[in-house]
Amino acid sequence: MDNPQINPVYPRQQLARALSTALTHEDPEVRLLAENRVSAWNSVTAGMADGSLEIGSRTPVRDLPTWVTLEVAQGGFATGRPAAGGPLNPHEAELAARHGLPARRRAVFEHHLGESGLAELTTLLDSGDYELGHPEEAALLTVAWLLRAGDAPAALRLLKVLEPFTGTLCFTPRPLPGARAGAGTGSGVALAEHSVHRATVGQVADKLHARATHPRASVKARTQSEALTIWAPFSDRILSHWLATTDPGGRVDAHRPDGWAERSRGLLAEYARLAAEHTLCTKHRRPKENLAILLAALHEATGQEGSVPENDSGGVGGPGAPSDSETRRGSRRGPTPEPAEPVEPADPASTELSPRRRGLLQCSVDAMLRKRGRPGDRQHTAVRRVQAAQAARPTHDDLARLLCNRLNALPRHTGTTRMSELVLPVSLEEAAEHGLPVAWPFPEYLRATVLPAMSAPLAELIKAGVVPSAEVVAQVIPLLVARAEASAAPDQALTHLTAAHHRAFSQRRSLLLADLSAQVRSEELPWVRALAPHLSDRNRRREAARALLPRIGSTVLTAFPGTITPNPLVRQFAVLAHAADMDAPFVEELAADIFTGRLSPKFLRAARLAAERTRGGLYARYYGLDPEQLPSPAQGTDNPWTASGALARLCQRRAGDPSGGVAAAGMVIEQAQILTTHNLALLEDLGASPDQGWAVAAWDAYETVVGILDRLPRVEGRLGHVKNAAFAWRQCVYFLSRCSEEEQRAALDRMTDRIAYPRHTREILTPILAGLRQAVAGHSPVEEEGRVRLFLGWSNRRHWVLRALREAAPRG
């Protein structure tokens, strides 16, 4: 079957969004990232238009074989550029400069084939002080290892494959002192206990440093500090100066003590100096603020009208003064202009305030007294003491810099087991060195920023919130899978190379594939094929993989019972199963928008395994499964696609032979997920189970369902949330099917009590629970409008859950 035509609408929409962000976003860093996306999506749309890109193929770029890592945009669209291509990387440029080579990639490659270049590669192999940004960067290290192992023919064959691309692709590893400390390679079944981390210490330190040194990082804190340490005390002095003119009734400017005018001019001169030196806080320049009104009255009282012009509101301002909107934006338009120096009054005797000015002055003084009291009294002193303590607090960027210093003392290329020490309050020595208060704690957001560098067993990372989803599990377990893969290596150098390559390969982004094409597997890469005969200790790798797979499966079922296995995690499971020499048919979630109606043979194997696990049980009754309806394996004896085609037709019939494009395809795919249990039966068959038991896992999955439905009125894209709720419900039903009948009945009663509120959740789940009640009682649910419902996620009509949500909405 030919690949279907991939709709070009999505790439064009992404290009338009990236263009809009690149042109309009306020943050220059966000604009730069958007510009990169514009370039990528430009390449995608242009390649699809001129036919140079065949989206949906395993080789979407002409003249590039499957093993080349491609640059892939969101959604799996290849841009046409190799990820390991482009201009020289810094490590390549540094090597070329150090050896006096031309700044060309081919010259760098050829250098490594000489005596000194091979010696450098061998040194890297033995030290392990390198990292691989892309899988291609393992190629030259592989050549060096093969030559040292005496397998020159394999090395020459590999070089012949690489030769056409030596001018365009980077095959040079990246020197990285201390990298082996982060490799965590090991052996044996104990690998399942090894620690993992979500980010390295270096990555976290770089993120903190960027935040601490960002131009806007501490403006707010420093502005607040300036307001409290400079302008608050000055405001108190101006207020006290005016209070010296009050009579017993509190009338301001009732009399002026001797020397008052001279002190007034001194205060105005001090204001001019402070305003020129301290430009972050601009509140004192706002015409309607109390300090500005008191200052304007001083100017008028001393005959210095010209020093600060008035605007229409009668305050300090005018054409040259910043507007309220400008002061709210801070110093975006540059520093506040220095105020004019006070001038000597033309007529010292003309110091009487106008009635309007006097009224504004009286209102401001009264307001300040009501708010804080008189400067020096108990109320005012208490307020200022609290504000002084607030001003003395260290800023977040100061604390971020301290955390950076602590991180920089640790190995950069791995996680850390010293997380509790890392976030201890400020020590005595650090307080003296950095000018911070002793024992000051780090705010929660800074603690959360460094937490991804925590190195611990996967279950501990999940408990700490470092790994919040099954998708993130897929990001961190390549460290464990890499160790299992490397267990077959005969020496430490190849162990480290194999593990580093697996980590690099796991970061290779998946392509959007059509017609059941499979993603590239690591053994298709020429350097992996060259090393395969030398990975001799396969028993050790098999034991490590067989111990690790159920362990990770149990952790996922325990921590994320309401989430179907995401595709990146499915791929890692498949790698482990392959290493363990297991015929484990892990199935991916298929994309409905490019589904061609066909299922690969592994779906039938998964369905038959699931049928045996669920035969005669609650799951089979609820979804109406009959193992006898599944195609017989004999149908695929000569051609496994024959039997899998029969399975696809069964899914089509179970979905009601729907029509309607993507929605119809989604309905068929959902039936395939039901028949295969989307890997749940397979994980159980491999020995995985929830740590807290099946009943608790069923309840946790049900809580996920209820939580999603509770939020439905407040979210956008409601249909997507309905699908997620239906998938979580399927997990719940499977887990409940592993429980005893007594546990099932008790769980059903508890579920019914759980949905008393809100109304829309109750009205949606009541018919769903009625269907489950029939299945628990030993019958297949019989759908009845408004009373009994089978909860499925896909529909080619308006989903009944959305209709029920609208009907349950309160009438206005």
pLDDT in tens, 150-160: 999 999 999 99
Q: What is the mean pLDDT of the chain?
A: 87
Please state, in angstroms and rounded to a whole number, the distance separating the CA atoms of residues 484 and 548: 8
CB count in 10 Å sphere of residue 205 = 21
Please state, in angstroms and rounded to a whole number, the distance separating the CA atoms of residues 492 and 486: 9
pLDDT at 190: 31
Please state, in angstroms and rounded to a whole number, the distance separating the CA atoms of residues 633 and 642: 10
Please state, in angstroms and rounded to a whole number, the distance separating the CA atoms of residues 745 and 755: 16
Closest to 648 measured CA to CA, from 693, 680, 604: 604
Query: Quick check: 203 and 211 in contact, CB under 8 A?
Result: no
pLDDT at 392: 72
Strands (DSSP E) along 474-544, which ranges? none
Longest dimension (CA), the chain: 114
The torsion of the CA quartet 592, 598, 602, 603, rounded to 10 degrees, works out to: 60
Domain boundaries, the chain: 9-82, 201-216+395-455, 219-391, 694-808
Instruction: Provide the H-helix boundaries in 409-559.
Output: 419-422, 428-434, 444-450, 458-463, 470-476, 478-486, 492-506, 526-531, 538-559
Distances (CA, A) of 302 to 19, 132, 352, 621: 57, 73, 9, 93
Beta strand pairing call for 174-175 and 130-131: antiparallel
Query: Which residues 6+ apart lie within 8 Å of 435 measured at CB?
Result: 398
In tens, the pLDDT along 678-723 reads: 999 999 999 999 999 999 999 999 999 999 999 999 999 999 999 9
Could you tell me how far CA 44 lies from the centroid of its own chain?
24
Closest to 509 measured CA to CA, from 13, 82, 4, 21: 82
Query: Quick check: 345 and 304 in contact, CB under 8 A?
Result: yes
- Ranges of the chain with pLDDT below 70: 1-5, 178-193, 214-218, 305-350, 633-641, 810-812
